[in-house]
Amino acid sequence: MPVVGYMAFIFALSSISQTPALPGGTDKDLHALLYGGLGLLLVRALSGGWDRPIALRTVFLTVLFCCVYGISDEFHQWFVPPRQVEAYDVVADTVGGAIAALGLYLWSRRRTV
């Protein structure tokens, strides 16, 4: 449920004509931050909880999902004037999800050693 709720939050933000900016940041930073949060929740859901070991497969699936959801988010923005579709937004989405997933993977590996 947290993943679905967070995805709905991202969808709602994409529905706004002008999203709020991060202080001192760019819209790409906001994309990476939001999808980093999605990545954290996805890793938690796919691995079965915060205290479970994280497999590389989970990292891969999380990054893939963040990329695909980022693409669908850009498609959605195509219908929201004056929003624009940008490939670099999808890159930022994917990078944000990847950083979160890899960070949790490394944390999990260190914790089990």
DSSP 86: -
Please check whether residue 49 lies inside any domain of the structure. Answer: yes
Assess contact for 70 and 90: CB atoms under 8 A: yes
Alpha carbon of residue 94 to chain centroid? 7
Q: Which of 64, 72, 13 is nearest to 42 (CA)?
A: 64
CA torsion angle 38 71 22 14 (round to 10): -90
pLDDT at 113 over 70: no
pTM (predicted TM-score): 0.92
Please check whether residue 41 lies inside any domain of the structure. Answer: yes
Please check whether residue 54 lies inside any domain of the structure. Answer: yes
Name the band, by pLDDT with cuts 50, 70 and 90, for residue 112. low
Please check whether residue 53 lies inside any domain of the structure. Answer: yes
Please check whether residue 22 lies inside any domain of the structure. Answer: no
Please check whether residue 99 lies inside any domain of the structure. Answer: yes
pLDDT at 20 over 80: no
Q: Which domain does 100 fall in, by range?
A: 2-15+27-112
Please check whether residue 20 lies inside any domain of the structure. Answer: no
User: In the chain, how many domains are there?
Assistant: 1
Average pLDDT, the chain: 93
